[in-house]
Amino acid sequence: MMNEIRRLRKKSACGLRLQHAPLFIHVFRKDMKMKAMVLNAPKPVSGNPLVLQEVDVPEPGPGEIRVQVTACGICHTDLHTVEGDLPLPKLPLIPGHQVVGVVNALGKGATRFAAGDRVGMAWLHSACGTCSFCRTGKENLCEEGRFTGYHTDGGYAEYTVVPETFAYRLPEGFPDEAAAPLLCAGIIGYRALRLSGIQPGGRLGLYGFGASAHVTIQVARYWGCEVYVFSRGKEHRKLAEKLGAGWTGQADETPPARPDASIIFAPAGGLVPDALRILRKGGTLTLAGITMSAIPELDYTKHLYFEKTVRSVANSTRKDGKELLKIAAEIPIRTETISFPLREANRALEQLQEGKINGAGVLKIVA
């Protein structure tokens, strides 16, 4: 490890940006520990499934970088993970996949970043790169795909590792806590927008107004779209109006005109008939959640006829991430965040579940 420290210091002498130096100049031993919120067994979030533990600091493998985490967004996928709604490929597990931090160590052959660079990590942790999906720009569907905070330990910790080719350079102008929600909420919302087929100047419906929708509306408004927001939460509707929604209401209400496309962010299958009922002929309804409750029986004539399309969104690609981060800087997107210390991850997830977070929740990691 002393050789690694010498290598990092040599890089510093050759022009390394030093604004994050206090975060990464440490001498690590193989037995060094870090704080992390660890899931040992899934259970309802009200039962505090995440436990603050000291665990080994991870070592970056070939082509990987170690990231010292400064902020990690919380997501409904984290909630589904800790409560066991998703089949878990590993336990114990450190959740979290909207990670912002600085490069702290370089694995063998890693050259894309320098120590001290600020980077982001997203849901897609790696893909095989050779299958038919990867070769055709659909790495999000790779059978060998691995996901951050699910197959691998994520950002509810002081340190984590990622293949350097799956880390993102973050645009300037976004504080760490403001950047974190862009890395899943932003990316998946952007992919959902693209798959919905909405055109600049079109009319868009958004169902549920949490972290993802509050970023998505800013992109849609930047494209000149009129946006209708459907949400049960009064405060969520107020935020939607503040961000440019032309109309807000609840799912069983009828807006002033039919949307050309709609996106359902809430994991509620019961919203599908409501959304299809008012969708314009030839429109697309995109389902952006990783899980969803049962979709009720649909009436073909009432809900699906006139060439309406229903499609899901599965994960995202690095191309989605790069494009979203570029447009986020152009707009610029402003994320509304509520911060929690790492040790309060259970409380943060419980507030997310109860709809008490207006915008996005972020864990602030302090090493």
Residues 147 and 16 in one domain: yes
Q: Is the pLDDT of residue 20 over 50?
A: no
Residues 212 and 280 in one domain: yes
Q: What is the pLDDT of residues 85-127, one digit of tens each?
A: 999 999 999 999 999 999 999 999 999 999 999 999 999 999 9
Residues 60 and 162 in one domain: yes
Residues 27 and 168 in one domain: yes
238, part of any domain? yes
Q: What is the pLDDT of residues 144-197, one digit of tens each?
A: 999 999 999 999 999 999 999 999 999 999 999 999 999 999 999 999 999 999
323, part of any domain? no
155 closest CA partner among 202, 80, 101 = 101
Mean pLDDT score of the chain? 92
Instruction: List the CATH number of the domain containing 107.
Output: 3.90.180.10
Residues 87 and 108 in one domain: yes
Give Cα separations from 196 to 108, 262, 282 (angstroms): 41, 7, 11
pLDDT in the model for residue 29: 60
Residues 162 and 197 in one domain: no
Instruction: List the CATH number of the domain containing 270.
Output: 3.40.50.720
Q: Is the pLDDT of residue 24 over 70?
A: no
Q: What is the pLDDT of residues 214-259, one digit of tens each?
A: 999 999 999 999 999 999 999 999 999 999 999 999 999 999 999 9
324, part of any domain? no
pTM of the predicted structure, to 2 decimals:
0.90
pLDDT band at 366 (very low <50, low <70, confident <90, very high): confident
248, part of any domain? yes
326, part of any domain? no
20, part of any domain? yes
65, part of any domain? yes
328, part of any domain? no
Report the domain count for the chain: 2
pLDDT band at 31 (very low <50, low <70, confident <90, very high): confident
Residues 35 and 175 in one domain: yes
Residues 60 and 102 in one domain: yes
Residues 191 and 305 in one domain: yes
Residues 130 and 211 in one domain: no
Residues 201 and 173 in one domain: no
Q: What is the mean pLDDT of residues 347-355?
A: 96
Q: What is the pLDDT of residues 278-327, one digit of tens each?
A: 999 999 999 999 999 999 999 999 999 999 999 999 999 999 999 999 99
Please check whether residue 265 is in contact with residue 210, taking contact to mean a CB–CB distance below 8 angstroms. yes
Q: What is the pLDDT of residues 55-86, one digit of tens each?
A: 999 999 999 999 999 999 999 999 999 999 99
Note down the domain range covering 86: 2-182+336-364
E runs forming strands in the chain: 33-39, 50-56, 64-73, 98-106, 118-121, 124-126, 146-147, 159-163, 167-169, 203-207, 226-230, 247-249, 261-264, 284-287, 309-312, 337-341, 360-364
Residues 165 and 192 in one domain: no
